[in-house]
Structures are given as C-alpha cells and as structure tokens.
Structure 1
Amino acid sequence: MVRTAVASLRRVMLDVYPPDLSADGLPRALDDLALPLQAQGLTVDVRTGPLPPLGPQQAATLYRTAKDSLANVVHHARAACVWVTLEAEGSGRRTAVRLEVADDGVGFGPAHRGRPDGHLGLKLMADRVAALGGRLEMGDRPGGGARIAVHLPVDHEV
C-alpha cells in the first residue's frame, strides 16, 4: 500500500513540477516516466547512452516527446512491452540525439502509417521536433507494434 501511495505522489509531482532536465537529468526523467507504465503491468525497458550537452529546449522536446509517446502506448497500443532508447548519434558538427519509443502493440494501422496527419498529438509532436531542426519518424516496429523515432541535431552553442 505504501509503494502505491509513493508512486501516486510521484506521478502528481511530475505533473505539477517538471523534472530537472539539465545535465544527466533527462535519463532519470525517462526512468520516472516508465514507473506508471510498470505499475500498470507493462514491461518498460529504458536505455540511455552518454549524451552531448543539450539546450533546455532540446531536452524539454525530447522529454515531452517521450512522455506523449508513452501516453499513446497506454491509450492506443494494447502493448505488453515498451522500449525507450536515448542516445547520441553522429559526431562533430553532425552530432544528434536519437530518441526512440517502440512497443509490441497493434501498430499505427494504414491511416497513420508514416504520417502524423489526422492525429493532433502526433502532429504537435512532429511540429515541436521540426521547430528545433529535427525530424520525427513513425511507423511499424519490425516484429509488430509501433515505433516513433526523433533525430534532433545538437546545438553546438550550448
């Protein structure tokens, strides 16, 4: 009963106060996003690698995209497993960060495959990423389910 109460309080706190996304705060924030899904019985695997320095908008966009993607998994996917990956890709001036959220659920279906059109949440997600010079890819996960990947270039002025 105490664990349930602590988990509920933690969820409320995350909704009221945004997490610290500076430095290594983003990987911890992704772990925190997984807790409510795990409490609902989903298997959630969060993997993060070393990240280059991120600006506040970049970190917030990655966090918000992960949060919205995980909410979509809960509401639409009928999944048992979710995989979240956050890692650097490329090097030098071409360094980017890749966030991927994939599940083993029902997938997007023909209406949404590869395009956020027709679903306001996906469109807002894509627009948020594009505003920072990144791109959002969405489609079916090999083996079944859905996959959303964000490729966000790193601002070298951070």
Structure 2
Amino acid sequence: MARVWIYQANRILSEGEVNYINTKLVDFLADWNAHGAALTATAEVRYQLFVILTVDESKTPPSGCSIDKSVYIMKAIEEALNIQLFDRFQLAYRTVEGDLRVADRASFEALIKQGLISADTIVFNNLVADTAALATQWEVPFNRSWHQQVFG
C-alpha cells in the first residue's frame, strides 16, 4: 500500500496542460528522495482534473522535507498554468450524464438546493490517504461522503 496525495485543479485541464504536468512530474520523481534515499513514487493526472502522487512507504517513507519538495513542485505547476491545486473547497462531482464538474463551496451548496446534486451524485473524496482508499473511497455517492456531513 502506498501513501496518496490528491491535488485537484479548479478547472478541467487541457491536453497540453496535462502533458506539461506529466513532464514536470516525471522529472520531479526521478530526483525525489527522503534523506538521500530514492522514493518509490508515481504520479498521474486523472480525468484531466486530479494530480495524484503516491509513495510506497514500505520501501522508503517520505520525510517532511520530501513532502515539502512535492508541495513546491505543485505550487510551481499552479503558477505556470494559472490554476489552483490547493483550494479544498473546489469540489468535484459527476453530473447525471457522467461529466466532471467543479464548483466552489457556494455553488456546490446551491446545486444541492436545486436538486442537481443528490444522494447518488458521485463526488470525489480527495482526503483519501492511501491507495486502498483511493480505489474504494475516492469516487463515492454524496450520501456516503464527508460532503454529506458538511453540506447535507
């Protein structure tokens, strides 16, 4: 099992932006280490919206400094692409048709009141901490998410 960090953009990324991020992350992962020991890590852009970093903690656990380095590269990507990756109240969900959408907190609340986000609407729990949770608890119905507790 690996530790996971999910960074969600505030908008759907273009193909060119995804390619840019992938290139930056390949370079970053090649040198990412904790106290001189290489981290066994992966990075991907999923759904043109989420940047997902994973580190196999059983091989080399990340250190505070290595985590800081990952934050630094994500902030550099933010600046280069004029996007937000650290705003936890940009909420992602799937429409009934399956399209991905992003809404800020106020808009998300309005969508709930309008019935456009219901108990069955798929939302993204970007707080998952490991690959097991990513596989089972990341894309979940609204009524089984932390969103229900905050907005329900």
Task: Work out which of the two has the higher radius of gyration on C-alpha atoms and give 1 or 2.
Answer: 2
> The TM-score by the shorter chain falls in which range?
0.3 to 0.5
- TM-score (normalizing by structure 2): 0.33
Q: Work out which structure has the larger RCO, using CA pairs closer than 8 Å and 6 or more positions apart in sequence.
A: 2
- TM-score (normalizing by structure 1): 0.32
